Amino acid sequence: MTYEANPLIGESYCIEMTLSAGLHTQTKPPYNGKELLASADPALYFAKRNGRNQVAISGEL
């Protein structure tokens, strides 16, 4: 089920939702939050530029 196809509908509202996400994984220490976010951020914008409502994984762009 997707909320895009099945919006949340109330008496006075209709909410249609989609999700775009950028993902970066790291399997070896040291883990650095700033570096992980810096790698995931371009993947997020890639997902948005290429149709939205999808997940893009850094390293696969």
pLDDT in tens, 2-60: 556 788 899 999 988 888 999 988 777 777 888 888 889 999 999 999 988 899 998 76
pLDDT of 26 reads: 78
Nearest of 58, 36, 35, 37 to residue 47 by alpha carbon: 58
> Model pTM greater than 0.75?
no
Q: Which of 29, 27, 26, 28 is nearest to 40 (CA)?
A: 26
The pLDDT of residue 51 is 87
Find all residues with CB under 8 Å of 4, minimum gap 6, and list them: 16, 17, 18, 53
The C-alpha angle with vertex 20 and arms to 35 and 45, in degrees rounded to 5, equals: 55
β-bridge partners, 57? 23
